[in-house]
């Protein structure tokens, strides 16, 4: 598909340097958009109510009646249908279009291909029909699409990072107020390396939503006991410790992790600004321990990869990244040691689990963008 009337949009995946599973708990997160992305080519097709979407990453063609948007039983189509449904609540300016999607993101790797898909699709429709939606509206409607059509009660971080990214910077996002700051992310001579475990996960199966409910249950008890405003940032570790005997053990662990992780993110922001990379890496390891032992979203494959990284002097920090139960580890590693480490990790991983390991370097990059004549044009 092409021609003078078509538009090309790229929508990146994201990494999260630290602040995992706290975006839906009123915490702070430190994500960045990455170079790897999903590409959208879109054009009007002259009809009033028919959209056709083709994807090189998924089988089949999605034909959409824009006058009768309804969820499908399951699958990637619901991300797109959800986006159209949410946009139609805001505007009646959408008519027929054709869209071709090509993903350069590894699905299920924890770099949030789902948010890149939602946000890029929304951005493309917004540009094609000149709807006038701003970046925050695209972030929020994409999140609602995932809630309402996919069934994953995700926080806002993934969509935010995909849309708001800035090359060379991470972003400290306050998930309660939605205020954010760009934080310089200069890692030289270290680089960010993602190791894809090739173990996939499906958050809609309930493990994600179950943990969210456990956190809400714990917070509700603490609010009742201490009279604090209902936010985890008002909870102290002393409050939790004093309430341990009154809380379910699993709920206690979930809440303990959240409170500790919120504090780690604030420390990480300072360390990045001061370029104290070794101390920053140590926080990454602490986060992984919490995700594995207290939040229980790791798995033996990911724990194996982090343990492997800990034994390498060239690696300053490593942890699981993303929703969990598979996906990637994110590693802060000296650039001169990348190839040797990948080879060593891949061999050990294959020997232990019989699974191939994929690795890719990345760096903080710009968010969802319209490409026009090889130039990037902001919204």
Q: Quote the pLDDT of residue 60.
A: 76
Other CB atoms within 10 A of residue 153 CB: 15
pLDDT of residue 38 exceeding 80, the answer is yes
Whether residue 336 lies in the annotated active site: no
Let me know if residue 1 belongs to a domain.
Answer: no
User: pLDDT tens digit string along 315-326?
Assistant: 999 999 988 888
Closest CA to 302 of 152, 109, 115: 109
If asked whether residues 297 and 207 sit together in one domain, one would say: yes
If asked whether residues 292 and 201 sit together in one domain, one would say: yes
User: pLDDT tens digit string along 130-154?
Assistant: 999 999 999 999 999 999 999 888 8
If asked whether residues 283 and 299 sit together in one domain, one would say: yes
If asked whether residues 310 and 222 sit together in one domain, one would say: yes
If asked whether residues 11 and 155 sit together in one domain, one would say: yes
Domain hosting 231: range is: 190-362
Q: Which of 23, 26, 98, 158 is catalytic?
A: 158
Query: Could you tell me if 254 and 306 are in contact, meaning their C-beta atoms sit under 8 angstroms apart?
Result: no
DSSP secondary structure, 88-136, as one string:
HHH-S----EEEEEEE-S-TTSSS-HHHHHHHHHHHHHHHHTT----HH
CATH number where 281 lies:
3.30.70.890
If asked whether residues 353 and 254 sit together in one domain, one would say: yes
Let me know if residue 312 belongs to a domain.
Answer: yes
User: pLDDT tens digit string along 241-296?
Assistant: 999 999 999 999 999 999 999 999 999 999 999 999 999 999 999 999 999 999 99
Let me know if residue 285 belongs to a domain.
Answer: yes
If asked whether residues 222 and 143 sit together in one domain, one would say: no
Let me know if residue 268 belongs to a domain.
Answer: yes
Instruction: Grade residue 239 by pLDDT with cuts at 50, 70 and 90.
Output: very high
Query: pTM of the prediction?
Result: 0.87
If asked whether residues 242 and 340 sit together in one domain, one would say: yes
If asked whether residues 175 and 209 sit together in one domain, one would say: no
Which DSSP helix (H) or strand (E) runs through 62? Answer: strand 61-65
Let me know if residue 248 belongs to a domain.
Answer: yes
If asked whether residues 172 and 303 sit together in one domain, one would say: no
CATH number where 147 lies:
3.30.230.10
Other CB atoms within 10 A of residue 78 CB: 21
Distance in angstroms (rounded) separating the CA atoms of residues 375 and 165: 17
User: pLDDT tens digit string along 156-198?
Assistant: 999 999 999 999 999 999 998 999 999 999 999 999 999 999 9
The structural domain count of the chain equals: 2
Let me know if residue 20 belongs to a domain.
Answer: yes
If asked whether residues 243 and 341 sit together in one domain, one would say: yes
Query: Could you tell me if 272 and 170 are in contact, meaning their C-beta atoms sit under 8 angstroms apart?
Result: yes
Query: Could you tell me if 173 and 157 are in contact, meaning their C-beta atoms sit under 8 angstroms apart?
Result: yes
If asked whether residues 247 and 303 sit together in one domain, one would say: yes
* Burial per residue of 228-264, b for 16 or more beta-carbon CB atoms within 10 angstroms, e otherwise: beeebbebeeeebeebeeebeebbbbbbbbbbbbbbb
Let me know if residue 259 belongs to a domain.
Answer: yes
What does the block give as tokens for 233? Answer: 């940032």
């Amino acid at each position: 598909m092409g021609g003078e009337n078509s538009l090309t949009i790229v929508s990146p995946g994201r990494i999260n340097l630290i602040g995992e599973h706290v975006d839906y708990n009123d915490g702070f997160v430190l994500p960045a958009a990455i170079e790897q992305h999903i590409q959208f080519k879109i054009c009007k097709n002259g009809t009033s109510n028919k959209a056709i979407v083709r994807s090189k990453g998924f089988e089949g063609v999605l034909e959409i009646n824009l006058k009768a948007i309804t969820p499908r039983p399951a699958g990637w189509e619901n991300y797109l249908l959800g986006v159209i449904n949410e946009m139609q609540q805001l505007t009646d300016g959408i008519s027929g279009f054709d869209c071709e999607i090509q993903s350069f993101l590894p699905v299920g790797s924890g770099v949030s291909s789902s948010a890149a898909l939602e946000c890029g699709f929304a951005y493309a429709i917004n540009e094609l029909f000149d709807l006038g939606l701003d970046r925050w509206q695209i972030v929020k409607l994409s999140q609602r699409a995932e809630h309402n059509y996919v069934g994953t009660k995700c926080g806002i971080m993934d969509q935010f990072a995909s849309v708001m990214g800035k090359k060379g910077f991470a972003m400290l996002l306050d998930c309660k107020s939605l205020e954010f700051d760009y934080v310089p992310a200069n890692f030289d001579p270290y680089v960010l390396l993602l190791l894809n475990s090739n173990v996939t996960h499906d958050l809609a199966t309930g493990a994600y939503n179950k943990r969210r409910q456990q956190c809400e249950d714990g917070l509700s008890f603490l609010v009742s006991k201490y009279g604090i405003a209902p936010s985890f940032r008002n909870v102290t570790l002393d409050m939790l410790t004093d309430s341990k005997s009154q809380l379910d053990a699993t709920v206690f662990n979930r809440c303990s992790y959240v409170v500790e992780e919120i504090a780690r993110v604030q420390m990480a922001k300072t360390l990045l600004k001061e370029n104290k990379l070794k101390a920053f890496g140590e926080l990454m390891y602490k986060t992984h321990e919490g995700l594995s032992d207290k939040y229980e979203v790791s798995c033996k494959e990911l724990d194996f990869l982090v343990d492997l990284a800990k034994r390498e002097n060239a690696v300053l920090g490593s942890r699981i990244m993303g929703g969990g139960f598979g996906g990637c580890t994110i590693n802060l590693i000296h650039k001169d040691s990348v190839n040797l480490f990948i080879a060593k990790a891949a061999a050990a991983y294959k020997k232990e689990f019989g699974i191939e390991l994929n690795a890719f370097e990345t760096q903080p990059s710009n968010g969802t963008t319209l490409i026009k004549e090889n130039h990037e044009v902001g919204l």
